Amino acid sequence: MLILDDILLSPFRGLYWVFDEIRKAAEQEIHEEADGITLQLQQLYTKLEAGQISVTEFDQREADLLDRLDEIRESGSVLDDDEDDFQEEGA
C-alpha cells in the first residue's frame, strides 16, 4: 500500500516542488530589491551631507524610496502569512 501511495502522490509532490521553487525565487527577488533601495537611501544621505542635492530634493527622493520600501515589506509579510496558512492546513 505504501508504494501505491508514493506512485499516486508523486505528480502532486512534483508540482509542490515547482511552486515552492517559484515562491523562493520571488522572495529572493523582493529581498534583493529591498537591499537596492537601502543602498539608494545611503547614497542619498551621502549626497545630502556632501551638499550635492538640496534638502527639498532629498525629502522628495527619500519619501519615494521609503514608500517603495514599505510596499515591499507589506508584500513580503503577505507572502509570509500565506506560507504560515499553508503549513497550518498541511499539518
Classify residue 75: in a domain, yes or no: yes
pLDDT at 30: 87
Domain limits for position 45: 25-90
pTM over 0.75: no
Output the nine-digit C-alpha cell for 82: 500565506
pLDDT in tens, 41-72: 999 999 999 999 999 999 999 999 999 999 88
Residue 86 confidence class, pLDDT cut points 50, 70, 90: very low
Classify residue 11: in a domain, yes or no: no
| CA–CA dist 54, 36 (Å, integer) | 22
| CA–CA dist 75, 48 (Å, integer) | 30
pLDDT at 57: 95
| CA–CA dist 1, 9 (Å, integer) | 12
Q: What percent of the chain has pLDDT over 70?
A: 81
| CA–CA dist 42, 1 (Å, integer) | 60
The structural domain count of the chain equals 1
Classify residue 35: in a domain, yes or no: yes
Mean pLDDT estimate for the chain: 83
